[in-house]
Amino acid sequence: MAIRQKMVFLYLKNKIMKKSSLVIIIYILGIIFGAVFLDIWNAETNPKKALLGISWTALFAIGLYYSEKNK
């Protein structure tokens, strides 16, 4: 019975998304949200919106670093 549980655990571990993939998906969804609802790519974008985009990208880089750190 224990061998079967290990096999199921290893199978599920391989099928679940990797942390880096999850971080990338969240980043892309955030960029799409910013483009559609916050209008970041408008010609009249103010500095607050620009800093929001830069900080979102910085959070992405930090999240990607920590997701790959323990591998």
Give the model confidence (pLDDT) of 48-63 as tens digits: 888 888 999 999 999 9
**What string of pLDDT tens digits covers the 71 residues of the chain?**
566 666 666 666 665 567 788 888 899 999 999 888 888 878 787 888 888 889 999 999 999 898 887 66
Domain ranges of the chain: 17-69
CA dihedral 59, 61, 66, 71 (to 10 degrees): 150
What residues have CB less than 8 Å from 51, skipping those under 6 apart?
none
**Which pLDDT belongs to residue 57?**
93
Residue spans of alpha helices (H) in 1-71? 2-15, 19-36, 47-69
